Amino acid sequence: MGCILIDAKAWPVVSAILEPSDFYRERDRWVFEAMQGQETIDQVTVAHALDRAERLAEAGGLEYLSHLISVVPTPLHAEAYARLVKKCADARKLIEAAGELATLGYDGDPYTSDPIVKRVRSLLSATNTKRPQTIGEIVDESFDELSDEVEGVAIPMGLETGLALDEVIRGFEPGKLYVVGGATSVGKTTFVLHIAAQIADRHHKVLFNSLEMGRKSLLRRLMYGKAGLRRQDNIRGKLTEENRTTLRDAWNWVDSLKEHLLIDDTPGLTVAQVYARAEQIEGLEIVVIDYLTRLRPRSETEEKRLQASGIASDVKTLAQELGIPVILVSQLNREYTDRPGRYAKLSDLKESGDIENDADVVMLLYHYDYFVRQEPGIFRPDPKKKNQLEVGIAKNREGETGTVKLFYDPKTGKIGNLSREEEP
């Protein structure tokens, strides 16, 4: 406040960070309030505002305002001082909230965590210094990012996988929620694991939350999928020397991902726990969660549809607050099996609720060979569709919908682009 009294140009910077309640002493809150709405901020105008509010004497009078000015070496450090005040204010709020959360935990309903979650959210909201911005401020902030776009230069893509999928969804972009849906055993885990590995291979840090499959099983899937070999053949001793060389190369490739692919196979996590763990990973660029109904809901007593909707909403918030893309795997309801061809729709997402509303992009997986295995009396082998995975883009908030066809061998878990001969 001494900086502002010396140079009123510090006010816009400080007021964007602080509000009166951030000050510990009541008289400091009064002085800050007196600065608000003033055309000119100096010792005279602030003293006059305090006098009108009948607080000048209690605030320490002109002597206190003079003291504020006297302890400031230069007004140039106003923003740094404001952030120090904000940190202290946030710490006090945390201390206060910790007491409230303990009380809620002891005295609240043991079967629901809703009050605690709401209190934590209100705390996060209170410590958020973001404010509404004018369109002019947003233009200035976005100038470097959008200047090429205005000139017609190609829009940069998000995180790429090397799959034909990239061209349709423009890669995986920060703050967006990507939902991958599919029938049980259709290849959802293999698909998102391949995406995670390909992004990690491009030296982007990926967190893969596996709430069902253990980390060593995922490691084997990666290795055998990369090699295009069946683990069963290895178990039975059927691998040739050439196969073993291929497998060693795949092992070396998986090992090369090193620090870029992180796997958390802790079961029964909540979205809040995923968020807390992700926040601790420096340089994290994307999160994969496999899968939705394995996440622990806010309340165990809610109906399944509301639980799923709440989880999807929380995961979307996670993506926005961390500023990175999040891929969330979801199963399908059984309704799609009554349809000819067994193609799924958005409403087929398991306990769909508002999942499709929260998602920016929804990808529904379809594998003809899967239905050949499941319903051999209805679906007959088709050489044109063998080893073909259809990724239906059922929703794309900022782009086109449609279908992308990929190569997928369910026996080995190998995924890739179709050759030119296979594409038609």
pLDDT, tens digit, for every residue of 2-56? Answer: 999 999 888 888 888 888 999 999 999 999 999 987 888 999 999 999 999 999 9
Would you kindly state where each structural domain of the chain is located, as residue ranges? 1-131, 165-417
Q: Could you tell me if 163 and 314 are in contact, meaning their C-beta atoms sit under 8 angstroms apart?
A: no
Rg (CA), the chain: 28
Specify the fold of 1-131.
DNAb Helicase; Chain A (1.10.860)
> Residue 84 contacts by C-beta under 8 Å, 6 or more apart in sequence?
none
220 is written with which tokens? 């084997």
Q: Which one, of 120, 6, 113, lies nearest residue 69 by Cα?
A: 6
Q: Which one, of 74, 86, 63, 64, lies nearest residue 3 by Cα?
A: 74
- 275 vs 333: CA distance, rounded Å: 27
For 183-283, strand residue ranges (E) read: 205-210, 261-264
> Residue 174 contacts by C-beta under 8 Å, 6 or more apart in sequence?
158, 319, 323, 324, 325
What pLDDT score does 160 carry? 94
Q: Could you tell me if 65 and 1 are in contact, meaning their C-beta atoms sit under 8 angstroms apart?
A: no
What 3-state DSSP class applies to 270?
strand
Per-residue pLDDT tens for 325-362? 999 998 888 777 778 888 888 888 866 556 788 899 99
- 158 vs 170: CA distance, rounded Å: 6
Backbone angles phi, psi at 285, to 5 degrees: -120, -15
Q: Which residues of 370-406 are buried (b: 16+ CB within 10 A; e: fewer)?
A: bbbeeeeeebeeeeebebbbbbbbbbbeeeeeeebbb
CA torsion sign for 347, 351, 356, 360 is: negative
Residue 81 CB: number of other CB atoms within 10 A?
A: 19
- 307 vs 92: CA distance, rounded Å: 33
Task: Identify which of 111-115, 347-351, 383-387, 411-415 has the greatest average pLDDT.
Answer: 411-415
The residue to which tokens 């992180």 are assigned: 262
259 or 130: which carries more pLDDT confidence? 259
244 or 233: which carries more pLDDT confidence? 244
- 382 vs 387: CA distance, rounded Å: 10
What pLDDT score does 165 carry? 93
- 122 vs 129: CA distance, rounded Å: 13
Q: In the predicted model, is pLDDT for residue 108 greater than 80?
A: no
Peptide bond into 336 cis (omega under 30): no
- 180 vs 183: CA distance, rounded Å: 10
Q: Looking at 2-77, list the stretches that DSSP marks H as alpha helix, in order from N- to C-terminal side.
A: 2-6, 11-15, 26-35, 43-52, 61-70
65 is written with which tokens? 């305002």
Confidence category of residue 121, pLDDT binned at 50, 70, 90: low
For the domain covering 165-417, report its CATH number. Answer: 3.40.50.300
Instruction: Name the pTM for this structure.
Output: 0.69
What pLDDT score does 239 carry? 81
Q: Could you tell me if 132 and 386 are in contact, meaning their C-beta atoms sit under 8 angstroms apart?
A: no
